[in-house]
């Protein structure tokens, strides 16, 4: 059983396979090594929502430079400023001394504290802030308002100098217990030595898209246990849409955030629907404006 996205301290999804994740053929390579003919079809109109909602996780992340480690200041400040029911606790990374965390590149963006607030999970690292949604997803309008509210509070602390990167990550699972059916749902064409329909697989590709890079993961025969203890089985599509930046001033970045949130959210949404066969979209019962 693989603890899925636990590093961000999010909704607590657990992901496994029919056997174990280690038995999968893990395929990791750049997009130019993959035939993506089927993954770039045109999406003329995006649904407003899906009646059969496959979404299981949604996350917004900021990585930044700051005057002091954000984990020393932001947890208490956010706890005091956010209204409503909330709890806070330290994550295991927090027990590692600060100087060691500073010296390890794989720890510098890892969450140190986790704040549970209303419908959201806020994870604070030394140089990162992650805002995730509890299951079920409250919807984009609610998510966006909460992101802007949290960033406005953080702005008042005045410890963040510049933003290096921000990203929007959505995870969906298309339900099916049959591997061939799972593969037929996805709009892709790929083979490595033999037809991948013969066994489970975990695929990761990077797809450049104007100002973003989409980190797309597809995992077959996944078993997911959700926060409400319900279980789902099928093929997972995880899309992390990333904007890397050249140390943009935090105040300027925050000023432009309302517009940029809409842009990155739409880019992620378009990428998701590009990954699906038209019949899969129909089966999810889309609702249009």
**CB contact at 8 A, 59 and 8:** yes
Q: Which of 230, 71, 257, 252 is nearest to 151 (CA)?
A: 257
**CB contact at 8 A, 219 and 202:** yes
pLDDT in tens, 116-163: 999 999 999 999 999 999 999 999 999 999 999 999 999 999 999 999
Does position 98 have pLDDT exceeding 60, yes or no?
yes
Q: How confident is the model at residue 188 (pLDDT cuts 50, 70, 90)?
A: confident
Q: What residues are paired with 130 via a beta bridge?
A: 61, 123
Tokens, residue 221: 């025969």
Q: What is the pTM of this model?
A: 0.86
**CB contact at 8 A, 115 and 78:** yes
C-alpha dist (Å) from residue 164 to 9, 64, 120, 128, 248: 21, 5, 23, 10, 7
> Cα separation of 101 and 86, whole Å?
27
Mean pLDDT for the stretch of residues 53-74: 97
**CB contact at 8 A, 193 and 103:** no
CA torsion sign, 101 to 102 to 105 to 111? positive
> Cα separation of 71 and 75, whole Å?
6
Q: CB-based burial of residue 23 (10 Å sphere; 0-12 exposed, 13-18 middle, 19+ buried)?
A: exposed
pLDDT attached to residue 228:
82
Mean pLDDT for the stretch of residues 165-170: 98
């Amino acid at each position: 059983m693989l603890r899925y996205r636990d590093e961000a301290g999010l909704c607590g999804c657990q992901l496994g396979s029919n056997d174990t994740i280690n038995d999968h053929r893990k395929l990791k390579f750049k997009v130019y090594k993959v035939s993506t003919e089927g993954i770039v079809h045109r999406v003329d109109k995006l649904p407003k929502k899906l009646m059969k909602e496959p979404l299981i996780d949604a996350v917004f992340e900021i990585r930044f430079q700051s005057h002091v480690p954000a984990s020393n200041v932001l947890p208490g400040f956010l706890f005091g400023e956010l209204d409503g029911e909330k709890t806070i606790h330290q994550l295991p990374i927090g027990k590692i001394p600060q100087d060691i965390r500073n010296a390890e590149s794989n720890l510098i963006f890892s969450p140190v504290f986790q704040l549970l607030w209303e419908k959201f999970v806020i994870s604070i690292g030394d140089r990162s802030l992650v805002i995730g949604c509890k299951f079920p997803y409250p919807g984009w309008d609610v998510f966006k308002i909460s992101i802007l509210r949290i960033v406005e509070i953080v702005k008042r602390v005045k410890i963040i100098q510049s933003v290096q990167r921000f990203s929007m990550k959505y995870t969906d699972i298309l339900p099916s217990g049959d591997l061939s059916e799972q593969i037929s749902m996805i709009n892709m064409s790929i083979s490595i030595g033999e037809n991948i329909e013969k066994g489970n697989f975990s695929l990761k590709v990077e797809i450049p898209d104007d100002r973003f890079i989409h980190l797309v993961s597809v995992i077959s025969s996944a078993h997911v246990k959700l926060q409400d203890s319900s279980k789902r089985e099928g093929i997972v599509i995880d899309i992390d849409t990333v904007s890397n930046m050249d140390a943009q001033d935090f105040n300027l970045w925050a000023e432009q955030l309302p517009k940029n949130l809409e842009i990155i959210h739409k880019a992620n949404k378009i990428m998701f629907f590009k990954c699906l066969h038209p019949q899969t979209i129909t089966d999810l019962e889309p609702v249009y404006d």
